[in-house]
Structure 1
Amino acid sequence: MKRVVSLSLGSASRDHRVVADFLQEQVAIERIGTDGDRAKLIELIRQLDGSVDAFGMGGIDRYIVVNQKRFTFREAEQIARAANKTPICDGSGLKDTLERVVVHQLADDPLIRLRRKKVLLVSGVDRFGMAEALVENDCEVVFGDLLFGLGISVPIRSLAGLERAARILAPILTKLPIRYLYPTGEKQETIKGSRFSKYYLEADVIAGDFHFIRRYLPDQLAGKIVLTNTVTEQDKQLLRERGVSCLVTTTPHLQGRSFGTNVMEALLVALHGKKGPLTSFEYLQMIEQLQLQPHIEWFQQAERASVDSRYFLPV
Structure 2
Amino acid sequence: MKKVITVTLGSSKKDFEFKTRFLGQEFSVQRLGADRDSSKAWELMRRQQANADAIALSDTVDHYHVGLRTVVNKESQRLMQVVTRVPVTTGASLRRLLQVRAVRHVQKELGHYFNNNLVLFLSGMRNYDMAVALSEYTRNLSFADPVFHAGSPLLLTSLEQLEIYAKGKELIPDIVPGEFLKSVLKTVKNKIVANAVARSHVIVGTFREIQAVAAGGNLEGKTLITSAIDDEALAFFTKHKVNLVVDVSPKLFDRVVGISTITAMILASMDKPESEVSDHDFEEIINELDIKPRLLHPTGHFRNIRRFAFVVHPLSQEYIKKGFPLPKGTPKFIMDKVETLAAYMPPMVYCKMSNIVSPSGAEAEGWLISVGGTPKEMLSHSPEFTYRRLLHAAKIAEGLGAQIMGLGAFTKVVGDAGITVARRASIPITTGNSYSASGALWAAADAMRRMGLVKVDKDSKKVPAKTMVIGATGSIGSVSARLLAMAFDEVVIAGRDMKKLNELRDSILQDTPDAKVISSTDYDSLLGEMDMIVTSTSGAGKKILDITRVKPGCVITDVARPLDLPPSEVAKRPDVLVIESGEIELPTPVKGMKSIGLPKNVIYACLAETIVLALEGRFEVFTIGRDTEWEKVKEIYKLGIKHGMKLAAISGVKGVYTDEDIAKVVSLAKKARLTWKGSSSGSTAKAPVKKAPVKKAPVKKAPVKKAAKKAPAKAVVAPKKPVSKQAPAKKSAGRTIVKKKTAA
> Which bin holds the TM-score, normalised by the shorter protein?
0.7 to 0.9
Structure 1 residues 198, 59: closer, same or farther in 2, change over 3 A?
A: same
Q: CA deviation at 1:231?
A: 2.5
Summarize deviations over 1:175-201 as a string: whole Å, max 9, x none.
x4533xx1169969x986972221111
Alpha-carbon distance in 1 for matches of 2:50, 2:291: 27
- The letter of the residue matching 1:183 is G
Match of 2:263 in 1: 265
Alpha-carbon distance in 1 for matches of 2:51, 2:144: 39
Structure 1 residues 258, 224: closer, same or farther in 2, change over 3 A?
A: farther
Alpha-carbon distance in 2 for matches of 1:172, 1:115: 36
2:146 aligned with 1:146: yes
Find the residue that maps to 1:7 and give its secondary structure.
Answer: strand
Alpha-carbon distance in 2 for matches of 1:41, 1:119: 33
Find the residue that maps to 1:125 and give its secondary structure.
Answer: coil
Match of 2:695 in 1: none
The 5 A counterparts of 1:167-186 are 167-168=167-168, 170-173=169-172, 176-179=173-176, 182-183=177-178
Summarize deviations over 1:207-255 as a string: whole Å, max 9, x none.
1222211111124122111110133311111110011012111011255
259-268 or 11-20, which moves further after superposition?
Answer: 11-20
Find the residue that maps to 2:101 and give its secondary structure.
Answer: helix
Structure 1 residues 5, 115: closer, same or farther in 2, change over 3 A?
A: farther
- The letter of the residue matching 1:270 is A
Structure 1 residues 107, 246: closer, same or farther in 2, change over 3 A?
A: same
The 5 A counterparts of 1:1-315 are 1-110=1-110, 113-138=113-138, 140-168=140-168, 170-173=169-172, 176-179=173-176, 182-183=177-178, 195=191, 196-220=193-217, 221-255=219-253, 257-277=255-275, 278-303=277-302
TM-score (norm. length: structure 2)? 0.38
- The letter of the residue matching 1:91 is G
- The letter of the residue matching 1:212 is E
Q: Is the CA contact (8 Å cut-off) linking 1:87 and 1:275 kept in structure 2?
A: yes
Tell me: higher relative CO, structure 1 or 2? Use CA pairs within 8 A at least 6 residues apart: 1
Q: CA deviation at 1:96?
A: 2.3
Q: Is the CA contact (8 Å cut-off) linking 2:148 and 2:180 kept in structure 1?
A: no
- RMSD in angstroms over aligned alpha carbons? 2.7
Q: Is the CA contact (8 Å cut-off) linking 2:148 and 2:181 kept in structure 1?
A: no
Q: CA deviation at 1:137?
A: 2.5
- The letter of the residue matching 1:69 is R
223-232 or 273-282, which moves further after superposition?
Answer: 273-282
Identity %: 23
Find the residue that maps to 2:153 and give its secondary structure.
Answer: coil
Q: How many residues align?
A: 299
- The letter of the residue matching 2:264 is A
Alpha-carbon distance in 2 for matches of 1:244, 1:256: 24
Summarize deviations over 1:83-117 as a string: whole Å, max 9, x none.
11111111211232221121112123227823332
Q: CA deviation at 1:259?
A: 2.8
Q: CA deviation at 1:273?
A: 2.3
Q: Is the CA contact (8 Å cut-off) linking 2:114 and 2:138 kept in structure 1?
A: no
Q: Is the CA contact (8 Å cut-off) linking 1:22 and 1:290 kept in structure 2?
A: no
Summarize deviations over 1:44-72 as a string: whole Å, max 9, x none.
11211142121111122341111132121
Alpha-carbon distance in 2 for matches of 1:67, 1:132: 9
- The letter of the residue matching 1:159 is L
TM-score (norm. length: structure 1)? 0.85
> Quick check: which has more Rg, 1 or 2?
2
282-291 or 254-263, which moves further after superposition?
Answer: 254-263
42-51 or 220-229, which moves further after superposition?
Answer: 42-51
